[in-house]
Structure 1
Protein backbone atom coordinates (compact mmCIF):
# COMPACT_ATOMS: atom_id res chain seq x y z
CA UNK A 1 0.00 0.00 0.00
CA UNK A 2 1.35 3.38 -1.00
CA UNK A 3 1.00 6.38 1.33
CA UNK A 4 -0.30 8.56 -1.50
CA UNK A 5 -2.92 6.19 -2.88
CA UNK A 6 -6.47 6.71 -1.67
CA UNK A 7 -7.97 3.27 -1.16
CA UNK A 8 -11.75 2.80 -0.92
CA UNK A 9 -12.95 2.18 2.62
CA UNK A 10 -14.49 -1.22 1.78
CA UNK A 11 -11.07 -2.42 0.56
CA UNK A 12 -9.39 -1.10 3.71
CA UNK A 13 -11.98 -2.80 5.91
CA UNK A 14 -11.50 -6.12 4.11
CA UNK A 15 -7.73 -5.81 4.53
CA UNK A 16 -8.16 -4.83 8.18
CA UNK A 17 -10.32 -7.89 8.81
CA UNK A 18 -7.48 -10.01 7.41
CA UNK A 19 -5.08 -8.45 9.94
CA UNK A 20 -3.31 -6.23 7.41
CA UNK A 21 -1.40 -3.67 9.51
CA UNK A 22 -0.86 -1.35 6.53
CA UNK A 23 -4.62 -1.00 6.13
CA UNK A 24 -4.90 -0.11 9.81
CA UNK A 25 -2.09 2.45 9.45
CA UNK A 26 -3.80 3.98 6.43
CA UNK A 27 -7.13 4.28 8.29
CA UNK A 28 -5.31 5.77 11.28
CA UNK A 29 -3.54 8.42 9.17
CA UNK A 30 -6.72 9.24 7.27
CA UNK A 31 -8.98 9.84 10.30
CA UNK A 32 -6.78 10.55 13.33
CA UNK A 33 -6.58 14.37 13.18
CA UNK A 34 -10.27 14.90 12.52
CA UNK A 35 -11.23 12.46 15.29
CA UNK A 36 -8.94 14.31 17.71
CA UNK A 37 -10.70 17.56 16.80
CA UNK A 38 -14.02 15.88 17.56
CA UNK A 39 -12.75 14.50 20.87
CA UNK A 40 -11.43 17.93 21.95
CA UNK A 41 -14.98 19.26 21.58
CA UNK A 42 -16.06 16.74 24.21
CA UNK A 43 -13.17 16.72 26.68
CA UNK A 44 -11.66 20.21 26.10
CA UNK A 45 -8.08 18.94 26.42
CA UNK A 46 -5.88 17.89 23.49
CA UNK A 47 -3.83 15.30 25.40
CA UNK A 48 -6.93 13.61 26.79
CA UNK A 49 -8.61 13.80 23.37
CA UNK A 50 -5.64 12.14 21.69
CA UNK A 51 -5.63 9.44 24.35
CA UNK A 52 -9.33 8.73 23.83
CA UNK A 53 -8.91 8.54 20.04
CA UNK A 54 -5.95 6.19 20.44
CA UNK A 55 -8.10 3.97 22.68
CA UNK A 56 -10.68 3.82 19.88
CA UNK A 57 -8.06 2.75 17.38
CA UNK A 58 -6.83 0.07 19.79
CA UNK A 59 -10.39 -1.25 20.04
CA UNK A 60 -10.73 -1.14 16.25
CA UNK A 61 -7.58 -3.26 15.89
CA UNK A 62 -8.65 -5.67 18.62
CA UNK A 63 -12.07 -6.15 16.96
CA UNK A 64 -10.73 -6.17 13.40
CA UNK A 65 -12.38 -9.55 12.74
CA UNK A 66 -15.73 -7.69 12.83
CA UNK A 67 -14.59 -5.10 10.26
CA UNK A 68 -16.79 -6.64 7.55
CA UNK A 69 -19.87 -5.50 9.50
CA UNK A 70 -18.81 -1.82 9.31
CA UNK A 71 -20.65 -0.03 6.52
CA UNK A 72 -19.12 3.45 6.90
CA UNK A 73 -15.74 3.64 8.64
CA UNK A 74 -15.93 7.43 9.17
CA UNK A 75 -19.30 7.18 10.93
CA UNK A 76 -18.19 4.13 12.88
CA UNK A 77 -15.01 5.81 14.17
CA UNK A 78 -16.88 9.04 14.93
CA UNK A 79 -19.42 7.14 17.02
CA UNK A 80 -16.64 5.22 18.77
CA UNK A 81 -14.89 8.48 19.70
CA UNK A 82 -18.14 10.04 20.88
CA UNK A 83 -18.89 7.06 23.13
CA UNK A 84 -15.29 6.85 24.37
CA UNK A 85 -15.33 10.52 25.36
CA UNK A 86 -18.70 10.23 27.09
CA UNK A 87 -17.39 7.22 29.04
CA UNK A 88 -14.28 9.19 29.97
CA UNK A 89 -16.40 12.11 31.19
CA UNK A 90 -18.55 9.79 33.28
CA UNK A 91 -15.55 8.09 34.83
CA UNK A 92 -13.79 11.33 35.64
CA UNK A 93 -16.97 12.80 37.09
CA UNK A 94 -16.53 15.91 35.00
CA UNK A 95 -20.27 16.16 34.58
CA UNK A 96 -20.80 16.20 38.37
CA UNK A 97 -18.14 18.90 38.71
CA UNK A 98 -19.83 20.92 36.00
CA UNK A 99 -23.15 20.68 37.86
CA UNK A 100 -21.50 21.97 41.04
CA UNK A 101 -19.73 24.86 39.31
CA UNK A 102 -22.52 26.11 37.08
CA UNK A 103 -25.74 24.91 38.64
CA UNK A 104 -28.03 22.26 37.20
CA UNK A 105 -30.34 24.72 35.39
CA UNK A 106 -27.48 26.14 33.32
CA UNK A 107 -26.33 22.65 32.31
CA UNK A 108 -29.83 21.60 31.30
CA UNK A 109 -30.27 24.69 29.13
CA UNK A 110 -27.08 24.01 27.18
CA UNK A 111 -27.51 20.25 26.71
CA UNK A 112 -29.37 20.68 23.40
CA UNK A 113 -26.66 23.02 22.12
CA UNK A 114 -23.93 20.58 23.14
CA UNK A 115 -25.65 17.66 21.42
CA UNK A 116 -26.12 19.72 18.26
CA UNK A 117 -22.47 20.75 18.26
CA UNK A 118 -21.36 17.13 18.69
CA UNK A 119 -23.67 16.02 15.86
CA UNK A 120 -21.96 18.64 13.72
CA UNK A 121 -18.54 17.29 14.71
CA UNK A 122 -19.60 13.80 13.63
CA UNK A 123 -20.92 15.08 10.29
CA UNK A 124 -17.69 17.03 9.80
CA UNK A 125 -15.62 13.84 10.19
CA UNK A 126 -17.73 12.11 7.54
CA UNK A 127 -17.59 15.12 5.21
CA UNK A 128 -13.80 15.40 5.60
CA UNK A 129 -13.43 11.72 4.76
CA UNK A 130 -15.33 12.30 1.50
CA UNK A 131 -12.85 14.98 0.32
CA UNK A 132 -10.07 14.16 -2.12
CA UNK A 133 -6.90 13.42 -0.14
CA UNK A 134 -4.97 16.58 -1.10
CA UNK A 135 -7.95 18.87 -0.40
CA UNK A 136 -8.52 17.22 2.96
CA UNK A 137 -4.84 17.52 3.80
CA UNK A 138 -4.77 21.25 2.96
CA UNK A 139 -7.99 21.83 4.94
CA UNK A 140 -6.63 20.00 8.02
CA UNK A 141 -3.38 21.96 7.90
CA UNK A 142 -5.35 25.19 7.75
CA UNK A 143 -8.13 24.52 10.24
CA UNK A 144 -6.66 22.02 12.69
CA UNK A 145 -3.01 23.10 12.73
CA UNK A 146 -3.56 26.82 12.02
CA UNK A 147 -1.06 27.00 9.16
CA UNK A 148 -1.16 29.85 6.66
CA UNK A 149 -1.56 29.13 2.94
CA UNK A 150 2.16 29.87 2.48
CA UNK A 151 3.09 27.36 5.20
CA UNK A 152 0.73 24.77 3.71
CA UNK A 153 2.26 25.31 0.27
CA UNK A 154 5.73 24.72 1.70
CA UNK A 155 4.69 21.61 3.61
CA UNK A 156 2.84 20.11 0.62
CA UNK A 157 5.45 21.18 -1.93
CA UNK A 158 2.96 23.13 -4.07
CA UNK A 159 2.25 26.76 -4.90
CA UNK A 160 0.08 29.07 -2.78
CA UNK A 161 -2.32 29.26 -5.76
CA UNK A 162 -2.65 25.46 -5.66
CA UNK A 163 -3.40 25.61 -1.93
CA UNK A 164 -6.10 28.20 -2.63
CA UNK A 165 -7.62 25.83 -5.20
CA UNK A 166 -7.54 22.87 -2.82
CA UNK A 167 -9.10 24.92 -0.02
CA UNK A 168 -11.76 26.28 -2.37
CA UNK A 169 -12.74 22.74 -3.41
CA UNK A 170 -12.74 21.53 0.20
CA UNK A 171 -14.88 24.42 1.41
CA UNK A 172 -17.33 24.01 -1.48
CA UNK A 173 -17.90 20.35 -0.59
CA UNK A 174 -18.11 21.07 3.15
CA UNK A 175 -20.63 23.88 2.65
CA UNK A 176 -22.91 21.47 0.79
CA UNK A 177 -22.42 18.55 3.20
CA UNK A 178 -22.83 20.68 6.35
CA UNK A 179 -25.36 23.25 5.13
CA UNK A 180 -27.94 22.29 7.77
CA UNK A 181 -25.46 22.87 10.60
CA UNK A 182 -23.39 25.89 9.60
CA UNK A 183 -25.49 28.84 10.85
CA UNK A 184 -26.14 27.21 14.23
CA UNK A 185 -22.58 25.95 14.74
CA UNK A 186 -21.08 29.33 13.89
CA UNK A 187 -23.26 30.93 16.58
CA UNK A 188 -22.40 28.19 19.12
CA UNK A 189 -18.71 28.49 18.30
CA UNK A 190 -18.77 32.24 18.87
CA UNK A 191 -20.62 31.83 22.16
CA UNK A 192 -18.18 29.21 23.48
CA UNK A 193 -15.11 31.22 22.46
CA UNK A 194 -16.05 34.63 23.92
Structure 2
Protein backbone atom coordinates (compact mmCIF):
# COMPACT_ATOMS: atom_id res chain seq x y z
CA UNK A 1 0.00 0.00 0.00
CA UNK A 2 3.07 2.23 0.23
CA UNK A 3 3.44 4.46 -2.79
CA UNK A 4 5.30 7.57 -3.86
CA UNK A 5 2.68 9.79 -2.29
CA UNK A 6 4.11 8.79 1.12
CA UNK A 7 7.30 10.60 0.17
CA UNK A 8 5.36 13.87 0.22
CA UNK A 9 5.11 15.51 3.63
CA UNK A 10 2.02 17.43 2.46
CA UNK A 11 0.29 14.12 1.67
CA UNK A 12 1.41 12.62 4.99
CA UNK A 13 0.11 15.64 6.92
CA UNK A 14 -3.23 15.50 5.12
CA UNK A 15 -3.51 11.78 5.89
CA UNK A 16 -2.45 12.37 9.48
CA UNK A 17 -5.16 15.00 9.86
CA UNK A 18 -7.64 12.37 8.70
CA UNK A 19 -6.42 10.07 11.47
CA UNK A 20 -4.31 7.73 9.33
CA UNK A 21 -2.19 5.59 11.61
CA UNK A 22 -0.25 4.41 8.56
CA UNK A 23 0.78 8.00 7.79
CA UNK A 24 1.74 8.56 11.43
CA UNK A 25 3.85 5.38 11.45
CA UNK A 26 5.56 6.46 8.23
CA UNK A 27 6.34 9.91 9.70
CA UNK A 28 7.61 8.27 12.88
CA UNK A 29 9.94 5.89 11.02
CA UNK A 30 11.11 8.65 8.68
CA UNK A 31 12.08 11.19 11.37
CA UNK A 32 12.53 9.33 14.68
CA UNK A 33 16.20 8.42 14.44
CA UNK A 34 17.33 11.90 13.33
CA UNK A 35 15.26 13.57 16.03
CA UNK A 36 16.73 11.28 18.69
CA UNK A 37 20.21 12.26 17.51
CA UNK A 38 19.23 15.95 17.75
CA UNK A 39 17.69 15.52 21.22
CA UNK A 40 20.74 13.63 22.45
CA UNK A 41 22.81 16.65 21.45
CA UNK A 42 20.83 18.66 24.00
CA UNK A 43 20.47 16.19 26.88
CA UNK A 44 23.48 13.87 26.42
CA UNK A 45 21.42 10.86 27.44
CA UNK A 46 20.11 8.61 24.66
CA UNK A 47 17.33 7.07 26.79
CA UNK A 48 16.06 10.49 27.84
CA UNK A 49 16.43 11.76 24.26
CA UNK A 50 14.29 8.88 22.96
CA UNK A 51 11.68 9.55 25.64
CA UNK A 52 11.55 13.26 24.77
CA UNK A 53 11.21 12.52 21.05
CA UNK A 54 8.44 10.00 21.76
CA UNK A 55 6.67 12.71 23.80
CA UNK A 56 6.80 14.95 20.73
CA UNK A 57 5.33 12.26 18.49
CA UNK A 58 2.53 11.66 20.98
CA UNK A 59 1.82 15.39 20.94
CA UNK A 60 1.86 15.38 17.12
CA UNK A 61 -0.72 12.57 17.10
CA UNK A 62 -2.88 14.30 19.71
CA UNK A 63 -2.82 17.56 17.72
CA UNK A 64 -3.22 15.93 14.31
CA UNK A 65 -6.37 17.98 13.69
CA UNK A 66 -4.20 21.10 13.39
CA UNK A 67 -1.65 19.78 10.90
CA UNK A 68 -2.84 22.12 8.15
CA UNK A 69 -0.84 24.84 9.92
CA UNK A 70 2.42 22.90 9.38
CA UNK A 71 4.31 24.05 6.27
CA UNK A 72 7.55 22.12 6.80
CA UNK A 73 7.17 18.86 8.73
CA UNK A 74 10.89 18.31 9.26
CA UNK A 75 11.39 21.82 10.65
CA UNK A 76 8.22 21.55 12.75
CA UNK A 77 9.33 18.29 14.37
CA UNK A 78 12.85 19.61 14.87
CA UNK A 79 11.49 22.74 16.57
CA UNK A 80 9.15 20.62 18.70
CA UNK A 81 12.01 18.40 19.89
CA UNK A 82 14.23 21.41 20.56
CA UNK A 83 11.55 23.03 22.74
CA UNK A 84 10.83 19.77 24.60
CA UNK A 85 14.56 19.34 25.33
CA UNK A 86 14.88 22.93 26.54
CA UNK A 87 11.87 22.45 28.84
CA UNK A 88 13.43 19.26 30.19
CA UNK A 89 16.80 21.00 30.77
CA UNK A 90 15.10 23.92 32.55
CA UNK A 91 13.16 21.56 34.79
CA UNK A 92 16.33 19.58 35.56
CA UNK A 93 18.27 22.76 36.36
CA UNK A 94 15.53 24.09 38.66
CA UNK A 95 15.52 20.78 40.56
CA UNK A 96 19.33 20.88 40.77
CA UNK A 97 19.21 24.50 42.03
CA UNK A 98 16.69 23.54 44.70
CA UNK A 99 18.88 20.61 45.74
CA UNK A 100 21.96 22.87 45.81
CA UNK A 101 20.14 25.41 47.98
CA UNK A 102 19.27 22.69 50.49
CA UNK A 103 22.71 21.08 50.33
CA UNK A 104 24.42 23.65 52.61
CA UNK A 105 22.03 22.58 55.34
CA UNK A 106 22.99 18.97 54.82
CA UNK A 107 26.69 19.84 54.83
CA UNK A 108 26.52 21.69 58.16
CA UNK A 109 25.92 18.45 60.10
CA UNK A 110 24.13 20.63 62.60
CA UNK A 111 21.45 19.31 64.98
CA UNK A 112 19.16 22.29 64.36
CA UNK A 113 19.59 21.97 60.61
CA UNK A 114 18.84 18.25 60.69
CA UNK A 115 15.78 18.85 62.84
CA UNK A 116 14.42 21.54 60.50
CA UNK A 117 15.07 19.39 57.41
CA UNK A 118 13.38 16.36 58.92
CA UNK A 119 10.46 18.39 60.21
CA UNK A 120 10.04 20.05 56.82
CA UNK A 121 10.18 16.72 54.98
CA UNK A 122 7.66 15.14 57.35
CA UNK A 123 5.35 18.12 57.02
CA UNK A 124 5.67 18.13 53.24
CA UNK A 125 4.88 14.41 52.98
CA UNK A 126 1.85 14.93 55.22
CA UNK A 127 0.62 17.79 53.02
CA UNK A 128 1.04 15.63 49.93
CA UNK A 129 -1.23 12.98 51.48
CA UNK A 130 -3.92 15.67 51.89
CA UNK A 131 -3.98 16.54 48.19
CA UNK A 132 -7.06 15.48 46.21
CA UNK A 133 -6.58 11.84 45.17
CA UNK A 134 -5.97 12.29 41.43
CA UNK A 135 -3.76 15.33 42.00
CA UNK A 136 -1.72 13.42 44.58
CA UNK A 137 -1.29 10.41 42.32
CA UNK A 138 -0.16 12.54 39.35
CA UNK A 139 2.18 14.55 41.59
CA UNK A 140 3.74 11.42 43.10
CA UNK A 141 4.26 9.87 39.65
CA UNK A 142 5.93 13.07 38.49
CA UNK A 143 8.11 13.82 41.51
CA UNK A 144 8.84 10.42 43.06
CA UNK A 145 8.83 8.13 40.03
CA UNK A 146 10.17 10.79 37.60
CA UNK A 147 7.55 9.95 34.95
CA UNK A 148 6.85 12.31 32.07
CA UNK A 149 3.39 13.79 31.59
CA UNK A 150 2.83 11.35 28.74
CA UNK A 151 3.74 8.37 30.91
CA UNK A 152 1.48 9.64 33.70
CA UNK A 153 -1.37 10.16 31.22
CA UNK A 154 -1.04 6.59 30.02
CA UNK A 155 -0.92 5.18 33.57
CA UNK A 156 -3.90 7.24 34.72
CA UNK A 157 -5.81 6.88 31.43
CA UNK A 158 -6.24 10.65 31.06
CA UNK A 159 -4.97 13.33 28.65
CA UNK A 160 -1.66 15.16 28.98
CA UNK A 161 -3.58 18.38 29.62
CA UNK A 162 -5.39 16.70 32.52
CA UNK A 163 -2.04 15.58 33.97
CA UNK A 164 -0.69 19.11 33.60
CA UNK A 165 -3.76 20.51 35.35
CA UNK A 166 -3.54 17.97 38.20
CA UNK A 167 0.15 18.65 38.84
CA UNK A 168 -0.36 22.42 38.59
CA UNK A 169 -3.18 22.11 41.12
CA UNK A 170 -0.92 20.09 43.45
CA UNK A 171 1.89 22.62 43.19
CA UNK A 172 -0.49 25.51 43.78
CA UNK A 173 -1.86 23.86 46.94
CA UNK A 174 1.60 22.91 48.22
CA UNK A 175 3.03 26.36 47.48
CA UNK A 176 0.21 27.90 49.49
CA UNK A 177 0.84 25.51 52.38
CA UNK A 178 4.62 25.92 52.14
CA UNK A 179 4.40 29.69 52.12
CA UNK A 180 4.34 29.86 55.91
CA UNK A 181 7.14 27.36 56.40
CA UNK A 182 9.65 28.43 53.77
CA UNK A 183 10.80 31.74 55.33
CA UNK A 184 12.13 29.81 58.35
CA UNK A 185 13.92 27.30 56.17
CA UNK A 186 15.38 29.98 53.87
CA UNK A 187 16.52 32.21 56.73
CA UNK A 188 18.21 29.24 58.35
CA UNK A 189 19.97 28.28 55.12
CA UNK A 190 21.21 31.85 54.66
CA UNK A 191 22.85 31.99 58.14
The normalised TM-score by structure 2 is 0.48
Higher relative contact order (CA 8 A, sep 6+): 1
The normalised TM-score by structure 1 is 0.47
